[in-house]
Amino acid sequence: MKLYEQVAHSIAERIEQSFYQTGEKLPSIRSLSLTHEVSISTAQEAYRLLEDQGWAESRPKSGFYVINKQKAPQHLPDLSRPIQKPIEISQWEEVLNLLCASTTSDIVQLSRAIPDLEAPTLKPLTRIMSDLNKHAQASMLSYESLRGADSLRLQIARLMVDSGCRLHPDDIIITTGCQEALSASLRAITQPGDIVAVDSPSFYGSMQAIKAHGLKAIEIPTHPETGISLEALELALEQWPIKAIQLTPTCNNPLGYTMPVEHKKRLLELTSRYDLPIIEDDIYGDLSYISPRPPSIKSFDTQGRVLLCSSFSKTLAPGLRIGWVAPGRYVNLVMHMKYVVTASTSTLPQHAIAEFIAQGGYERHIRKMRAQYHQSRDVMIGWVEKYFPVGTKISYPQGGFVLWVELSDEIDTVILNERTMRQNVSIAPGMLFSGSGKYSNCMRLNFTDKPSVKNENAIKTVGNMVSKMLTDLL
Amino acid sequence: MKLYEQVAHSIAERIEQSFYQTGEKLPSIRSLSLTHEVSISTAQEAYRLLEDQGWAESRPKSGFYVINKQKAPQHLPDLSRPIQKPIEISQWEEVLNLLCASTTSDIVQLSRAIPDLEAPTLKPLTRIMSDLNKHAQASMLSYESLRGADSLRLQIARLMVDSGCRLHPDDIIITTGCQEALSASLRAITQPGDIVAVDSPSFYGSMQAIKAHGLKAIEIPTHPETGISLEALELALEQWPIKAIQLTPTCNNPLGYTMPVEHKKRLLELTSRYDLPIIEDDIYGDLSYISPRPPSIKSFDTQGRVLLCSSFSKTLAPGLRIGWVAPGRYVNLVMHMKYVVTASTSTLPQHAIAEFIAQGGYERHIRKMRAQYHQSRDVMIGWVEKYFPVGTKISYPQGGFVLWVELSDEIDTVILNERTMRQNVSIAPGMLFSGSGKYSNCMRLNFTDKPSVKNENAIKTVGNMVSKMLTDLL
């Protein structure tokens, strides 16, 4: 154990023993350096580690504070039980309604997974955009190369080392958000009519891509802590001519789990027999609360079978529409599918993000956001436990900023959403996350914002409405 | 005839009678006002009309000059004769090579259709981008609505009045360039295996979309002045189960023609019997050399059968990746196809372009560019006539900035391009514009830049190489 790790460890122990309480100010760097007889930079390193491990957070011009270390909720959701046969995805209308719902500023949007865009650590990115726009006008207005800006692909290849991937920049294609990465990947490896296995519940955007491509989905039971059931997947593979798997194994949307490394490896092994391509959605991966972030399935793939899809929409800003795909052996097919839908990706944000990463801005921002979302998760779970009826089941996210809540079977969250919307709070109904109308008693809530009275009241509004609906049922 | 029209007419007559010579300075606004005894503003209006009609161009701080009114080239290309049966598109590799070709600044790129990005009239757009970026950071970083920014859809609906269309902003969906508009339209109205009729030669991007969607194309003979042969189309419709038509009727890429209004109307009538959807690519429409610009097929459509696709990639800047589609009765299907490939379109450029149009910047820029490209066309045709072997056939574009050149049958323009590239000049080989390997003796050249010695030398290089290849054949 290195010196700074020892110092961090001793502080973490004291937090665990409640020597330092939640929200309490921790010793200053100077005092830590004096009491532990280490250099200032070692004390700084120690706090950096405590931040990464989710023990402490820094507040500007104030110092370091103990983060609320929420225990896992008492009742986790059950293992999901979707229909065990291939289905056609039905619910486009509902997705469209969610996406087109009014977005006036007086509505507390717990429904959409948009990151915090007011963070001060994002400001340098805006400055870089302005500079590039001003000083390199003509080149920023022209087409970027089909594959994407060289500088950005280089930076992404470097970032991906954190998830255990060693890629060449030419293994990466820049896309218009993660959605284009997922969509181009799906089309590259399937034909209309094919069956794709998915974790369930699953992100509605990728489910809609499956629908639009004329594919069928088989939804695999999924555990709220360990992810897709490998046993159920194995059975499905034996029973059906499955042509691809699509899943979000790290900081899953909507369930929040991260598949254990051993499961990720076993998934690769299991699918090796069928030489099956795997679309790995890693969009929330860098927002894992533990640091270093967990390895991707892609990092264990020696056969080029994994198409890793990601973007800066959750880590930086969705309005830039910059994502990427590392399609392994399918790179030429994916490139064709990318070309025909959008030709090249917009130029300015690619160069701005590359510069932001190169200057260290991405790492700084991610560290801040990880700590913020980690803390918000714990506050959010506390609120749901406080304001929702007894028996409510709550996920325990390991990264990202969405929570999955399972209510009593009688509650229909589409109706719940209609009612809370009248009180200016929107939630994402669970049925969006299934192709077969499951999860109608579930919902997804985001906890992007820093905890506030407004948000606490929003949760209270939803909780009270659930209680009222239950009472009405009696 | 209004007063300013009378004044303009008298000037135009004198230009036609060579009273004013090409390149000569025309009377100042003040002197025009004195000699014709009209107000200054009427004289200004007269010059504005002369600009719009392609007689005069204004030079900053200098005045108005006579534009070179090039007569049509002596030898136009022949009516195209593609194979008269549905085919699968073959040539992706060649398109990829063209798109990925080295773009160092010492190469004169006659191959790619990129507009002039150094024009001073684009500067205000850059300024607006910077302002929005600075003053509305968080909202510019967030998702824009799926349909696109309200402000931009309103401005596009207004612009489209010029082409005869009266649309509500909700009839319009913003897309990631015209490519997404074309691609989403194709997928909305066809199933894999279907046959789509196209004008021929045809833009390779839309041909590749046909290929990627698993469709077949039937290439319809096309006239270099009047466009797709309605007789040939009628025969094809009787013979094959064609599910859609895709064409570029106004300022065609690559041939440059604009279909006469009567042909546009007859095309609608003809396809009415089959209730056939028409994908109308209008990307160059606003760059027509005559003003007001020609009406679109969409403007005559009372059945919602026309899906009009366009973008700001040729009029403003391709790197912004902002296009749109007005899909008529197919609006919900197209929206789904747009959602699954890119979700929303990038936010900042949408708002910047809307503001640029609202401030009058778009109209000013387009007027300038139309005059510039008009003049460049004439200079370009002059150069090709001067430097290419006798017998070369040349198109006579009515808008946009690309020229189609047809050489002697023995010349293979793929080989020609390989050779001119060694002298730092790239051309677009004709075979890219066919799905069946036709047009191997043709090429497309752009004339975006203001005429320069560098560009004249580039044309000379290509012309000399063609002559050399012909001599070698003897």
SS3 string, A286-355, reads HHECCCCCCCCHHHHCCCCCEEEEEECCCCCCHHHCCEEEECHHHHHHHHHHHHHHHCCCCHHHHHHHHH
A214 vs B: CB within 8 A: yes
Q: Residue A25 forms beta bridges with which residues?
A: A65
What is the spatial distance between Cα A226 and Cα A259, in angstroms, rounded to a whole number?
5
- Reading the block at residue A82, the tokens are 């979707």
Same domain, A255 and A342: yes
- For residue B197, the cross-strand partners are B218, B245
Interface of A with B in 235-274 (CB under 8 A): none
- List chain A residues with CB under 8 Å of B336: 92, 96, 208, 212
CB < 8 Å to A184, chain B: 341
**What is the per-residue pLDDT across B267-323, written as a single tens digit (0 to 9) for each?**
999 999 999 999 999 999 999 998 889 999 999 999 999 999 999 999 999 999 999
B7 Rama class: left (phi>0) / alpha (psi -120 to 50) / beta: alpha
Give the end of a domain, one of B361, B390, B415: B361
Q: What is the mean pLDDT of chain B?
A: 93
| CA dist., res. A374 & res. A116, Å (int) | 13
- A400-446, pLDDT tens digit by residue? 999 999 999 999 999 999 999 999 999 999 999 998 889 999 999 99
Question: In this structure, is the dihedral angle defined by the CA atoms of residues A335, B146, A319 and A101, taken in order, positive or negative?
Answer: negative
Residues 348-387 of A with CB under 8 A from B: 348-349
Indicate if ipTM > 0.85: yes
Bridge partner list, A109: A426
Give the confidence band of A382 by pLDDT, cuts at 50, 70, 90.
Answer: very high
Instruction: State the helix-helix crossing angle for A204-212 and B331-342, rounded to 10 degrees.
Output: 120
Dist. CA A371–CA A349, nearest whole Å? 26
- Please give the Cα distance from B421 to B22 (Å, whole number): 34
Question: Is B134 within the bounds of a domain?
Answer: yes
Q: Does A134 touch chain B (CB under 8 A)?
A: yes
Q: What is the pLDDT of residues B151-178, one digit of tens each?
A: 999 999 999 999 999 999 999 999 999 9
Q: How far is B21 from chain A (nearest CA, A)?
A: 34
- Percent of chain B's residues with pLDDT above 90: 77
The pLDDT tens digits for A61-70 are 889 988 866 6
The residues, ordered by sequence, that sit 6+ positions from B400 with a Cβ below 8 Å of its Cβ are: B113, B251, B252, B253, B256, B284, B287, B314, B373
Q: Which residues contact A150 (CB under 8 A, 6 or more apart)?
A: A169
Task: Examine the domain organization and report whether B195 and B130 are in the same domain.
Answer: yes
Q: What is the DSSP string of A146-209?
A: TT--HHHHHHHHHHGGGGT----GGG-EEESHHHHHHHHHHHHH--TT-EEEEESS--HHHHHH
Verify whether the Cβ–Cβ distance B141 to A117 is below 8 Å.
Answer: yes
What DSSP letter does each residue of B226-245 carry, written as one string? Answer: TEE-HHHHHHHHHHS-EEEE
Question: In this complex, which of B141, B179, B320 lies closest to A346 when CB atoms are compared?
Answer: B320
pLDDT-derived band at B102, boundaries 50, 70, 90: low
Kindly state whether residues A188 and A285 are assigned to the same domain: yes
Beta-carbon count within 10 A of B89 CB = 21
Q: How far away is chain B from the Cα of A212, in angstroms, using its nearest Cα?
A: 7
Domain finish residue from B300, B333, B361: B361
Q: Are residues A187 and A248 in the same domain?
A: yes
pLDDT value of position B21: 80
Q: Could you tell me the two tokens for B57?
A: 């161009």
A327 contact partners, CB below 8 Å, separation of at least 6? A171, A173, A185, A188, A307, A308, A333, A334
CA-to-CA separations, A3 to A8, A20, A49, A64, B337, in angstroms, rounded:
9, 21, 12, 19, 55
What residue of B is the nearest CA neighbor of A94?
A: B336
> What rounded mean pLDDT belongs to chain A?
93
> Is there a domain that residue A311 lies in?
yes
Encoded amino acid at B87, one letter: I
Same domain, B102 and B147: no
Q: What is the CATH number of the domain that holds B129?
A: 3.40.640.10
Q: Chain A: nearest CA to B392, how far in angstroms? A: 31
Domain boundary among B313, B342, B361: B361
In a domain, B12, yes or no: yes
Between B210 and A23, name the one with better pLDDT.
B210
Alpha-carbon span A90 to A444, nearest angstrom:
19
In this prediction, residues A97-120 reach a mean pLDDT of: 84
Say how many C-beta atoms besides its own lie within 10 A of residue A394's C-beta: 23
CATH code where residue A379 lies: 3.90.1150.10
Region A298-305 average pLDDT: 97
Strand A442-446 and strand A428-429: the pairing is antiparallel
Facing A145 at nearest CB: one of B100, B134, B138: B100
- How does pLDDT run across B394-428, given as a tens digit for each residue? 999 999 999 999 999 999 999 999 999 999 999 99
Rounded Cα distance, B474 and B456, in Å: 28
Asked whether residue B226 is domain-assigned, the answer is yes
- Which of B96, B140, B146 lies closest to A100 in CB terms? B146
Residues A197, A169, single domain; the answer is yes
Phi and psi at residue A222, to the nearest 5°: -135, 135
Count of the separate structural domains present in chain A: 3
B102 Cα to chain A: minimum distance (Å): 10
CB A222 within 8 A of CB A248: no
Q: Do A179 and B145 touch (CB under 8 A)?
A: no
Of B106, B73, B98, B107, residue with least CA distance to B430: B98
Nearest to B11 by CA among B1, B3, B2, B19: B19
In a domain? residue B87? no
Cβ proximity of A362 and A356 under 8 Å: yes
| Domain of residue A315, residue span | 123-361
Assess whether A302 and A420 both reside in one domain: no
Q: Does residue A53 carry a pLDDT above 80?
A: no
- The position carrying tokens 């937090």 is A15
Is the minimum CB–CB distance between A318 and chain B shorter than 8 Å? yes
pLDDT band (50, 70, 90) for residue B72: confident
Instruction: Name A43's Cβ contacts closer than 8 Å, sequence gap at least 6.
Output: A4, A7, A29, A30, A32, A33, A36
- Within a domain: A75: no
Alpha-carbon gap, residue B250 to B300, rounded angstroms: 14
Cis ω for the linkage preceding B60 (within 30 of 0): no
Q: Which residue has the tokens 């809530």?
A: A445
Match 């760059």 to its residue by tokens. B287
**Same domain? B50 vs B168:** no
Three-state SS at B287: helix
Q: Nearest by CB to A130, from B133, B183, B336: name it.
A: B133
Contacts of B89 in chain A (CB under 8 A): none
- A256 and A336 together in one domain: yes
Residue B140 at interface with chain A, using a CB cutoff of 8 Å: yes
The H or E element spanning position A445 is: strand A442-446
Could B137 and A122 be called an inter-chain contact, meaning their C-beta atoms sit closer than 8 Å? Answer: yes
Let me know whether A30 and A97 are in one domain: no
Give per-residue pLDDT as tens, A195-242: 999 999 999 999 999 999 999 999 999 999 999 999 999 999 999 999
Confidence (pLDDT) at B451: 87
Percentage of chain A lying above the pLDDT 70 cut? 99
Residues in chain B: 474
SS3 for A377-428 is: HHHHHHHHHHHCCCCCEECCCCECCEEEEECCCCCCHHHHHHHHHCCCEECE
pLDDT tens across A156-198, in order? 999 999 999 999 999 999 999 999 999 999 999 999 999 999 9
Burial label, B274 (beta-carbon count in 10 A; 0-12, 13-18, 19+): middle
- Contact with chain A for residue B40, Cβ under 8 A: no
Residues of B in contact with A347 (CB under 8 A): 319-320
| B281 vs B267: CA distance, rounded Å | 15
Same domain for B341 and B385? no
**Any idea what the CATH number is for the domain that residue B52 is in?**
1.10.10.10
Contact A141 B122 (CB under 8 A): yes
In a domain, B283, yes or no: yes
Angle at A33 between CA A30 and CA A37, to 5 degrees: 150
Q: Cα–Cα distance between B46 and B55 in angstroms, integer? A: 11
Report residue B70's pLDDT band, with 50, 70 and 90 as the boundaries.
low
Q: Is residue A426 a part of any domain in this protein? A: yes
On whether both B249 and B302 belong to a single domain, the answer is: yes
Q: Which of residues 153-182 of B touch A (CB under 8 A)?
A: 176-177, 179-180
Largest CA distance in chain B: 68
For residue B216 the two structure tokens come to 């077949």
Burial class (CB in 10 A: 0-12, 13-18, 19+), B1: exposed
Establish how many alpha carbons lie within 13 A of residue A353's alpha carbon, considering only the half-sphere containing its beta carbon: 29
